């Protein structure tokens, strides 16, 4: 008899919990419905004291908002709307930024993200050993291995460090470690793509999962997906990267750097180049860009519109259609002219 009572009490309790759950769902749906007459509508650009209510007998009508002249409403255009006047019929972007990796499944995207950024929560206080810097800030560059091919751009980075007062040839005195392996271009279609980077990095005696290491990267992924797959694990190393994704960027740890070409000078002007009366220095060109046009896919909508700004004088924007193996399939009427100006 007592067992039946316990079963009855349990059943009643479960029924009450289910009713409470349904009641909570109804409240949630009620809160999501638009406000009715006796509730305040929400206008983000107005203030409650600016409302005026008109009462007649027992009826309450909708409040009429009065817009403050000092707070005009702002309707910012979408980023794609800014380029609409410059887009032609065949230049629409096939893969919009919202579907940047539509050709890869969510599982593949998670695998790439987890493979590269296994330590997404790394910060200086958690993934950097400050004890190595007690004797001073010294930077050590690993010696190149036999057969290493280093691009001109990466060699400039290494040379600038070697010529600085922070460089050391003793790894036991180093606070920061720089790879001799060229990791700037991780596009598998590029001629400067370095093979077997993962094994070469992990075989370093002081790698220590990347702790106190700084890795440079300008290009990642391969057309047309352009994921941030570098082909190796960054680990606890800091990443100095161009065009970093806000999803994978680790604040106060990674470094966002601009995209620069091999023509970028190793050093600036001589001593006294910048004077008090010449800041900023006088320049012949106001804006310069040279790169691939991306006939389709991510970035095509923006880069296909750059020729409208190019004036050949102080604003130079040069693009080439020669990108990818099948670029000629998407060739348009401007490709020959653009390729010719780009090669000058």
pLDDT in tens, 47-97: 444 434 334 444 444 444 444 455 455 454 554 455 555 554 444 433 333
Are 186 and 220 a contacting pair, CB within 8 Å?
Answer: yes
Q: Look at residue 90 in the predicted model and tell me its pLDDT.
A: 44
Tokens standing for 173?
């005195």
Question: Degrees (nearest 5) of the Cα angle 131, 239, 291?
Answer: 155
Q: How confident is the model at residue 285 (pLDDT cuts 50, 70, 90)?
A: confident
DSSP β-bridge partners for residue 318: 290
Tell me: the pLDDT tens digits for 108-164? 666 666 555 667 889 999 999 999 999 899 999 999 888 788 999 999 999 999 999
* Partners of 317 in the β-ladder: 289
pLDDT at position 112: 61
Coil, strand or helix at 255: strand
> Considering only CA atoms, which of 232, 238, 241, 230 is closest in space to residue 212?
238
pTM summary value: 0.56
Q: Is residue 32 pLDDT above 60, yes or no?
A: no
**Residue 16 pLDDT greater than 60, yes or no:** yes
Mean pLDDT of 318-342: 87
- In the chain the first and final C-alpha atoms are separated, in Å, by 97
Distances (CA, A) of 241 to 137, 183, 237: 22, 10, 12
Two tokens, residue 206: 């002081």
Mean pLDDT over each residue of the chain, to the nearest integer: 75
Q: How confident is the model over 231-274, as pLDDT tens digits?
A: 898 999 999 999 888 888 999 999 999 888 777 777 776 666 55
């Amino acid at each position: 008899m007592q067992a039946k009572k316990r079963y009855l009490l349990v059943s009643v309790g479960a029924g009450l919990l289910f009713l409470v759950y349904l009641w909570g769902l109804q409240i949630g749906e009620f809160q999501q419905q638009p406000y009715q007459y006796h509730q305040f509508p929400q206008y983000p650009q107005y203030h409650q004291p600016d409302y005026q209510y008109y009462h007649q007998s027992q009826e309450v009508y909708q409040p009429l908002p009065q817009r403050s002249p000092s707070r005009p409403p702002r309707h910012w255009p979408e980023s794609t709307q800014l380029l609409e006047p410059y887009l032609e019929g065949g230049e629409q972007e096939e893969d919009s930024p919202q579907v940047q990796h539509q050709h890869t499944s969510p599982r593949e995207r998670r695998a790439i993200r987890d493979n590269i950024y296994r330590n997404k929560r790394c910060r200086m206080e958690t993934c950097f050993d400050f004890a190595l810097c007690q004797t001073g800030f010294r930077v050590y560059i690993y010696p190149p291995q036999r057969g290493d091919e280093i691009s001109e751009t990466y060699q400039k980075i290494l040379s600038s460090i070697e010529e600085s007062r922070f460089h050391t040839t003793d790894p036991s005195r180093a606070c920061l470690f720089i790879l001799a392996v060229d990791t700037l271009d991780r596009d598998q279609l590029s001629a400067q793509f370095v093979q077997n980077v993962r094994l070469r990095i992990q075989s370093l005696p002081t790698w220590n999962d990347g702790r106190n290491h700084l890795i440079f990267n300008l290009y990642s992924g391969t057309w047309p997906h352009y994921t941030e797959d570098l082909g190796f694990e960054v680990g606890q190393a800091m990443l100095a990267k161009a065009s970093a994704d806000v999803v994978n960027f680790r604040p106060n740890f990674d470094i966002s750097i601009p995209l620069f070409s091999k023509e970028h000078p190793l050093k600036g002007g001589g001593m006294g180049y910048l004077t008090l009366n010449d800041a900023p220095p006088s320049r012949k060109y106001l804006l310069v860009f040279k790169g691939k046009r991306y006939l389709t896919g991510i970035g095509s909508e923006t880069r296909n519109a750059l020729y409208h700004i190019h004036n050949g004088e102080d604003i130079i924007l040069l693009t080439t259609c020669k990108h990818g193996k099948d670029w000629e399939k998407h060739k348009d009427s401007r490709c020959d002219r653009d390729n010719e100006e780009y090669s000058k």
